[in-house]
Each structure stands twice: as structure tokens, then as C-alpha cells.
């Protein structure tokens, strides 16, 4: 049987389908199950589950781009899921930051969705249970395996405030072009990093457009005028996630912990 994208995504979807059929899920893959639940809430069950049933992984990946996620970000998410599966099967007993990195990707997907659709209070409550859990499977999982379990709750509270206030938020991290691309137009990479994320996206799009027209040779386009005159973006208040890679023994494997509940 062919693996659907990778083991982690496949295991999550299979657990989701078992739960939908009121069957017992595989507790070893509880985290992957929650990831799929979140994806279904963001994108809808059809766009997440149907590609699995039809055996079309490319459609699954394409559906993740519905609200503006890039090819690179989709690959990053899928790679992190594969990395989690490798960690899970390595039988290592040290904590990891992989779940936090995956959840940061999921929050980014949700923020992008919010630029198109208002997020309802009911949805906010669902995400609270995922990203800032108190007494559920995700809370227990975070206690067992996550290096710093405060990182994602802090990030989520900041993003949630914007969602509840109806603000249009930006992505967690901007995607930068190579420094040489900005240098051709008189900008340093550090200057670009200081811009609001929406401005970076606009600048990148304009540079790519000019390069296609002029073959990478600077013409009359002045990026600094674009920066000064076009609309302002909402400046992200979160600094890049800094997850300390300490090795702390958990003593219990996920499977035993959840099966004994």
C-alpha cells in the first residue's frame, strides 16, 4: 500500500476516519490525529480527507494553499510531520520541539484563513483546546514530549487577540528572496526584514515582476518608493519562535501513557 504523503499525515487521517466511524483510535498517533482535526477545521473535511480517499496527495497539498500558503510552507509542514514520525519511531526518550514547530505552521494557516473569513467564537474555542490546552489529550501530550510547552500558548494568545478583534493578521514569518535580489535594487536584507510582512510580500512580488520583464536588470523601479507610498500592514508582535533544544527525559512513551487512560 502506498503511503499518503508520509506516515504521520496518513496515521492522522486514519485516526480521524476511525473516530468518525466511532471506532477506537490508535493512541500512539494522538498528535497526528489532532493535527488532522485542526486542518479539517481550517480547510474543511472535503479538502483534507477526500484527497486521501482518492489517492491524490498533490490535491491535498494544493488545498493547503487555499488561503495563500506557499509551496515552500506546504513542504515545510509536510517535512515536519515526517520528522515527527521519525522521532516517534526512534524510541528516543528526550523531549522535542517538533510538535511546537508543526503547531506554529497550523496557526499560520489559520491566520491566513482569517484574511478571507471571520473566525467564529466557536472556532476560537476549538483552537483554544488545541493550542492552549488545559485538561485534554493535547495538554497531556505537551507535558510529556514538548521541550517548552509555553511557546505555542503564548503565540496563540497573541494571534487570538487579533482574530477576536477582527484584525487582518500577517503570517508568522515572511518568505524572503535571496539577499542578492534586494541588493540589485539598493536594499539590504536587514532593511527588508524590518518591513511589515505584507509589505515584504508586496515588495517580493514587484521584484519578481520586474525581473521577469527585464531579465534581472534594474530598470526604473524604485522599491523604496513602493515601501513609502503603498498601504501599511499590521506589524506582527511575535518574535521568531525560539525553542531551546534541551534534552529532558520523559520516562514514558506516548503509547503507554494514553493507552492506560
CA distances from 208 to 106, 162, 213 (A): 27, 30, 9
pLDDT at 243: 32
How many angstroms separate the CA atoms of 86 and 92, rounded?
10
DSSP-based three-state secondary structure for 176: coil
Give the closest residue to 112 by CA, choosing from 48, 43, 205, 204: 43
Query: pLDDT tens digits for the chain (261 residues)?
Result: 689 999 999 999 999 999 999 999 999 999 999 999 999 999 999 999 999 999 999 999 999 999 999 999 999 999 999 999 999 998 666 899 999 999 999 999 999 999 888 899 999 999 999 999 998 989 999 999 999 999 999 999 999 988 876 544 444 556 678 888 888 888 888 888 777 666 787 788 788 777 777 665 555 566 665 554 433 333 333 333 333 333 333 434 454 555 555
DSSP-based three-state secondary structure for 231: coil
Q: 42: buried, middle or exposed (CB in 10 Å: 19+, 13-18, 0-12)?
A: buried
Q: What pTM value is reported for the model?
A: 0.65
pLDDT at 231: 38
pLDDT at 226: 57
How many angstroms separate the CA atoms of 198 and 202, rounded?
6
pLDDT at 257: 55
Amino acid at each position: 500500500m502506498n503511503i499518503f504523503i508520509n506516515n504521520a499525515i496518513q496515521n492522522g487521517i486514519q485516526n480521524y476516519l476511525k473516530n468518525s466511524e466511532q471506532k477506537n483510535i490508535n493512541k500512539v498517533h494522538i498528535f497526528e490525529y489532532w493535527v488532522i482535526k485542526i486542518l479539517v477545521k481550517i480547510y474543511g473535511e472535503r479538502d483534507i480527507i477526500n484527497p486521501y480517499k482518492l489517492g491524490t496527495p498533490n490535491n491535498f497539498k494544493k488545498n493547503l494553499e487555499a488561503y495563500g500558503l506557499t509551496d515552500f510552507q506546504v513542504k515545510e509542514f509536510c517535512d515536519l510531520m515526517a520528522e515527527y514520525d521519525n522521532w516517534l519511531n526512534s524510541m528516543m526518550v528526550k523531549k522535542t520541539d517538533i510538535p511546537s514547530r508543526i503547531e506554529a505552521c497550523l496557526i499560520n494557516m489559520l491566520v491566513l484563513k482569517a484574511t478571507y473569513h471571520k473566525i467564529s467564537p466557536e472556532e476560537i474555542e476549538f483552537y483554544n483546546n488545541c493550542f492552549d490546552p488545559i485538561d485534554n489529550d493535547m495538554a497531556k501530550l505537551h507535558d510529556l514530549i514538548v521541550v517548552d510547552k509555553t511557546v505555542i500558548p503564548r503565540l496563540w494568545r497573541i494571534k487570538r487577540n487579533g482574530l477576536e478583534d477582527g484584525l487582518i493578521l500577517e503570517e508568522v514569518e515572511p518568505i524572503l528572496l535571496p539577499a542578492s535580489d534586494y541588493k540589485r535594487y539598493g536594499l539590504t536584507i536587514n532593511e527588508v526584514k524590518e518591513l511589515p510582512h505584507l509589505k515584504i510580500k508586496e515588495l517580493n512580488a514587484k521584484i519578481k515582476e520586474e525581473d521577469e520583464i527585464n531579465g534581472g536588470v534594474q530598470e526604473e523601479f524604485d522599491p523604496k518608493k513602493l515601501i513609502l507610498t503603498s498601504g501599511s500592514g499590521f506589524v506582527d508582535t511575535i518574535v521568531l519562535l525560539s525553542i531551546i533544544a534541551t534534552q529532558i527525559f520523559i520516562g514514558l512513551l506516548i503509547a503507554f501513557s494514553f493507552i492506560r487512560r
